[in-house]
Structure 1
Amino acid sequence: MSIEAIKKNMYVELTYAILDAQGEIKERVDIPVKYIHGRDSGLFPQIENALEGRAKGDRVEVFLTEHEGFGPSDPNLIFTDDINNVPPQFHQVGAEVEMQNDRGGAKKFTVIKIEDGKLTVDGNHPLAGQTVQFVVTIGEVRLATEEELKSGVTQDFSVSGDATVH
């Protein structure tokens, strides 16, 4: 049996970890995610390109700048308000608050600070404004079936903070 190298129309399973600039693991996905290589996978292009030609068991490391990854931090998505104006269930750092804009669109914000009677929420992805490292371990690699090519097997590569890994 030959080792299958990743190329277009291959079914691929992988696990990954995302590390910050200090090497701290910010997110880890140990349940294999599946995609069809070269078919609008939802992966960041730099990651998909780095996987090209690789095989099961390979470990691939990819660094993404803030512009290649989760984007710059937008100060317009950070709000501070008097804690008394915020429902009690959100009075803890890490609590997630869903807010709507005037057009009815919803966005998740995370409480990042409580200090001096003020509560601050941030709607940026937690890794916005940072260079990150993806450490990807390749699992199963094989030719995709006709059904997988039709259905697009791809899954949502969402990571914490409502951003998609693409």
Structure 2
Amino acid sequence: MHVIDGNSVVGISYVLKGEAGEVLDKSSGSDPFVFLMGVEAIVPGLEKALLGKTVGNAFSVSLNPEEAYGQPHQDLVGHVPRSQFPSDLEITRGMRFQCEVAGGIRMVAIREIEGDTITIDANHELAGRSLHFDINVESVRSATAQEISHRHVHHGDECDHGHDH
């Protein structure tokens, strides 16, 4: 029996709820979420709660914002002119898209539209929120040396995602 440690590949089924108990996300029935521990694939508080668990363990954990997606950072909110968007694009409040922010690709949300100025926010949509997870551990195995060096799970015998081995 494998015990979850910092070099495990873990499969979980989960229900994620907000402060009021509203369901924010969940895994699909027979398709667990599979990830590599220790590479920031999940929020830190959930990773910590999984350490030492084994297949079949079911548990719940509540996380404050610092253990989840952190507090929102004002430096991830900015104002851009409407002219930076394609002219035929209908821009609406709440719209989400990918763009380059601080040298990396991030999901960004439109927060406000005031005339020709668009306020965008690159904070995670759950930043600043306390979260509750109901977890079932479905699978645990030791990560391969290749998975650890590549920092993600390889499915089957192939690693088909654009880097050399």
TM-score, normalization: structure 2?
A: 0.64
Assess if the C-alpha contact under 8 Å between 1:109 and 1:123 holds in 2: yes
CA displacement at 1:5 relative to structure 2 = 6.2
1:91 is displaced (CA, Å) by 0.9
Aligned-residue sequence identity (percent) comes to 22
Counterpart of 2:3 (choices 3, 6, 24) is 6
Find the counterpart in structure 2 of residue 89 from structure 1.
Answer: 89
Q: 1:19 aligns with which of 17, 20, 26?
A: 17
Change (3 A) 1:155 1:83: same
Compute the displacement of 1:33 (Å). 2.5
> 2 CA distance for matches of 1:82 and 1:110?
15
* Residue segments in structure 1 that go unaligned for 5+ positions in a row: 157-166
Q: CA deviation at 1:32?
A: 1.3
Shift of 1:60: 1.7
Change (3 A) 1:17 1:85: same
Taking the aligned partners of 1:41 and 1:104, their CA distance within structure 2 comes to 18
1:18 shift after superposition: 2.2
In structure 2, the residue matched to 1:162 is none
Q: CA deviation at 1:92?
A: 2.0
Shift of 1:115: 6.1
Q: Could you list the runs of 5+ residues in structure 2 that have no partner in the other structure?
A: 155-165
- Aligned pairs for 1:13-162 (under 5 A) are 13-30=11-28, 31-35=31-35, 40=39, 42-80=41-79, 86-87=85-86, 88-100=88-100, 104-114=103-113, 119-141=118-140, 143-144=141-142, 148-152=143-147, 154-155=152-153
82 and 151 in structure 1: CA distance in 2 versus 1, 3 angstrom threshold: closer
Q: CA RMSD in A?
A: 3.5
What is the alpha-carbon distance in structure 2 between the residues aligned to residue 35 and residue 110 of structure 1? 26
Answer whether contact 1:90 1:97 (CA < 8 A) is retained.
no
> How far did 1:34 drift?
2.7
SS for the counterpart of 2:71 is coil
Structure 1 residue 125, shift from structure 2 partner: 0.2
Question: Is the contact made by 1:47 and 1:62 (CA closer than 8 Å) also made in structure 2?
Answer: yes
Residues 93 and 111, structure 2, Cα contact 8 Å, conserved in 1: yes
Q: How many residues align?
A: 147
**Contact 2:64/2:130 (8 A) holds in 1:** yes
1:26 and 1:63 mapped to 2: Cα distance? 14
CA contact (8 A) 1:110 1:121 kept: yes
